[in-house]
């Protein structure tokens, strides 16, 4: 309170009161910022420290690493980075369920691959159908309807489906520490985007509610759309065929097409995120490159170099070589899910 | 001031002072809102009245037409709606200038169409080359380089080029009344997007400065991109070929892909905007559908049904039939450009 007493010697009473109030606000503001931990689900350690240091550096107006708010763009992979992707990508669970639901209308599927394999839960036979099989399943389950119809179907499914291990809706299986990072970045003037290999319309019905990320900030794999008049009503029909596979080298393409500027922070967990991390890293100025390493078989899953879902191999080598932040779920995260 | 005196009878002095202050703020606030015209460059009349009534309706929490801020999406065509598109689309002027600039490296262009026609300013011969000719010119002038290199070239050009009639940079030939609409919508919780047939990367270097619309809120025609490592540096190379022609029926596709929700307000000026207006109109709830009709040959240009640039024919009929707002530049706009 020295400042206040000093002020009293120099100025009249009313001005002193104002200055004291300003001082109190200032002091209280600082104390407040120091005591409220923006990342309470993170254990103290180098990962947490680097996130905090990065945000402080790019928001410090007088520092050399300051970045104007408009350029504070952060991109997040979804599967395995923001929510659980094991034992299979959630959208894969969705399309397999859709095959089952639609099967009564398609008796031929009982003998026709790849549908036969799906209906018999024969994942080895399904895998043998390769990318062509996946495209056939996507076409049969996710096209030939309007965008709005698909949104309803996907939204209804996500509300009803349960994870096989955790027996909870998938939208509850989001990582609490990452929700805190999203909120912390936004509170510091960042615009947060999802950049996912998943279908853009599969994610949009719930990303705002679950992550606080609105539909227009979701970048994902994109199918062909066609504008049509049906009974005098304009609709966007979903056609077979993909315009963008927003995975691997497709992620920087999706970023440029949708966002139009290079992120200064990128978060991923697999080799599918490598190019997004490289592209983000290659810009000038302070950068945060972070990989979520699934190391916790007990609380979630443990997998990396040999997993068919969310393989983390080349990106782990590059992260180690370049000094990117590799988060160990087991040691860095106090809790994994919000409900714990 | 009746309220204050009434208060004095019922409450102690300090409370009365507070109530009076609140009352004053309230009174001042209302008076302020009534006296500051958010659209000063618009003449009084039905067009202006409908814009004001729409915004008041969707922002009135107690009204039946209230729309939550997240759904307040407004889309704007660019050429002819936000800036001058005559005597030729600005991007066409850009690529023609690029052909000229690149010609010394391509001696074969002197005898090769469509380049010969461009170099000789023979627009009849150029027109005869049709869409194939345009694609060849776009490929030669706007691909085979990184996104960043293109941004620099386009940004440098737009800073240096001058409009043939007005002798000013194109970015000064933006419509003051529309700048006011953009600002007014944003002040009322709208997110404003450009949805243009023009190239997405041609617009992005300057839309934030000129319109207050950031790159991630610009939707436009999109060329193919490829992620590549060049000398250990990741770049996005622009390839020949178009992923999205964001015009006519492509506009609702661009809206769904980039924004993921249906606008509640759409602004256009030509038949290329018809489907965007239809798609916007087809949603439920209050809507604002607006067409800028170029009726002022003296201050800008006058054209509609027979123009090859920005033809307004079918959309004008549909606007009249459906009661959309058709703005006459001549009678509705007090001033056209900010510099007037």
**pLDDT tens per residue across span B81-94:** 999 999 999 999 99
Task: Report pLDDT digits (tens) over A184-201.
Answer: 999 999 999 999 999 999
Contact B338, B176 (CB under 8 A): yes
Q: What are phi and psi of A84, to 5 degrees?
A: -70, 130
Q: Which of B217, B257, B273, B284 to mutate to test the interface with A (most CBs of A within 10 A)?
A: B257
Q: Which of B105, B137, B85, B43 is nearest to B327 (CA)?
A: B43
pLDDT-derived band at B35, boundaries 50, 70, 90: confident
Q: Which of B74, B216, B221, B264 to mutate to test the interface with A (most CBs of A within 10 A)?
A: B216
Q: Do A216 and B216 touch (CB under 8 A)?
A: yes
Which residues in A lie closer than 8 A to residue B200 (C-beta atoms)? 257, 260
- Sign (positive or negative) of CA dihedral A328, A332, A335, A337: negative
Q: How many inter-chain contacts (A to B, CB under 8 Å) are there?
A: 89
Q: Which of B199, B202, B225 to mutate to test the interface with A (most CBs of A within 10 A)?
A: B225
| CA–CA min distance B254, chain A (Å) | 9
pTM recorded for the entire structure:
0.89
B9 CB burial (10 A radius; 0-12, 13-18, 19+): exposed
- Residues 6+ positions from A164 with CB-CB distance below 8 Å: A87
β-partners of residue B265 are B74, B288
Q: Do A225 and B256 touch (CB under 8 A)?
A: yes
| CA–CA min distance A226, chain B (Å) | 7
Contact A292, A269 (CB under 8 A): yes
CA-nearest residue of chain A to B199? Answer: A257
Q: Do A227 and B249 touch (CB under 8 A)?
A: yes
Q: Do A225 and B200 touch (CB under 8 A)?
A: no
Q: Do B236 and A252 touch (CB under 8 A)?
A: yes
Residue B33 has pLDDT above 80, yes or no: no
Distance (Å, whole) CA B250 – CA A106: 33
Contact B89, B97 (CB under 8 A): no
Helices A176-187 & A46-59 angle (0-180, nearest 10): 20
CA-nearest residue of chain B to A259? Answer: B216
| CA–CA min distance B261, chain A (Å) | 7
- Interface ipTM: 0.88
Q: Do A244 and B244 touch (CB under 8 A)?
A: no
Of A204, A227, A257, the CB nearest to B260: A204
β-partners of residue B326 are B291
Q: Do B222 and A257 touch (CB under 8 A)?
A: yes
CA-nearest residue of chain B to A213? Answer: B70
Of A225, A249, A253, the CB nearest to B257: A225
| CA–CA min distance A23, chain B (Å) | 24
Q: Which of A155, A227, A248, A318 to mutate to test the interface with B (most CBs of B within 10 A)?
A: A227
Give mean pLDDT, residues B313-339: 98
CA-nearest residue of chain B to A226? Answer: B253
Mean pLDDT of chain B: 91
Write out the DSSP string of B252-313.
HHHHHHHT-S--SEEEE-SGGGHHHHHHHHTSSS--EEEEEE-B-TTTS-B--TT-SSS--S
Taking only the tens of pLDDT, chain A with its 340 residues reads: 333 333 333 444 444 444 444 444 444 444 445 579 999 999 999 999 999 999 999 999 999 999 999 999 999 999 999 999 999 999 999 999 999 999 999 999 999 999 999 999 998 999 999 889 989 999 999 999 999 999 999 999 999 999 999 999 999 999 999 999 999 999 999 999 999 999 999 999 999 999 999 999 999 999 999 999 999 999 999 999 999 999 999 999 999 999 999 999 999 999 999 999 999 999 999 999 999 999 999 999 999 999 999 999 999 999 999 999 999 999 999 999 999 9
Residue B28 has pLDDT above 80, yes or no: no
- The tokens describing A162, both together, are 């349960």
CA-nearest residue of chain A to B251? Answer: A227
DSSP state of A306: T
Contact B322, B281 (CB under 8 A): yes
- The tokens describing B266, both together, are 């759409």
Contact B277, B77 (CB under 8 A): no
Task: Report pLDDT digits (tens) over A55-65.
Answer: 999 999 999 99
Distance (Å, whole) CA A304 – CA A330: 14
């Amino acid at each position: 309170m020295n400042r206040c007493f000093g002020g009293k010697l120099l100025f009249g009473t009313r001005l002193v009161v104002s200055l004291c109030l300003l001082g109190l606000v200032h002091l209280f503001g600082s104390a407040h910022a120091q005591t409220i931990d923006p990342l309470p689900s993170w254990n103290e350690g180098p990962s947490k420290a680097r996130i905090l240091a990065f945000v402080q550096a790019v928001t410090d107006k007088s520092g050399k690493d300051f970045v104007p708010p408009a350029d504070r763009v952060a991109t997040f992979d979804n599967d395995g980075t923001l929510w659980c992707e094991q034992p299979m990508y959630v959208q894969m669970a969705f399309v397999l369920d859709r095959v089952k639901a639609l099967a009564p209308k398609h008796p031929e599927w009982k003998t026709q691959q790849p549908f036969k394999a799906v209906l018999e839960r024969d994942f080895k036979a399904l895998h043998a159908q390769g990318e062509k099989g996946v495209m056939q399943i996507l076409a049969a389950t996710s096209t030939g309807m309007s965008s709005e119809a698909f949104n309803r179907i996907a939204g209804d499914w996500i509300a009803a489906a349960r994870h096989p291990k955790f027996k909870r809706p998938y939208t509850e299986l989001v990582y609490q520490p990452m929700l805190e990072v999203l909120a912390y970045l936004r509170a510091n003037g960042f615009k947060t985007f999802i950049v996912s290999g998943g279908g853009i319309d599969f994610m949009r019905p719930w990303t705002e509610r679950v992550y606080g990320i609105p539909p227009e900030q979701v970048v994902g794999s994109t199918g062909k759309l066609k504008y049509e008049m049906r009974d005098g009503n304009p609709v966007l029909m979903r056609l077979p065929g993909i315009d963008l596979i927003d995975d691997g080298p497709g992620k920087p393409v999706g970023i440029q097409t949708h966002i139009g500027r290079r992120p200064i922070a990128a978060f991923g967990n697999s080799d599918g995120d490598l190019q997004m991390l490289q592209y983000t890293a290659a810009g000038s100025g302070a950068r945060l490159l972070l990989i979520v390493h699934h190391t916790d078989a007990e609380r979630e899953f443990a997998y990396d170099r040999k997993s068919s879902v969310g393989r983390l191999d080349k990106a782990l080598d590059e992260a180690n070589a370049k000094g990117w932040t590799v988060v160990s779920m087991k040691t860095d995260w106090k809790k994994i899910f919000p409900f714990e």
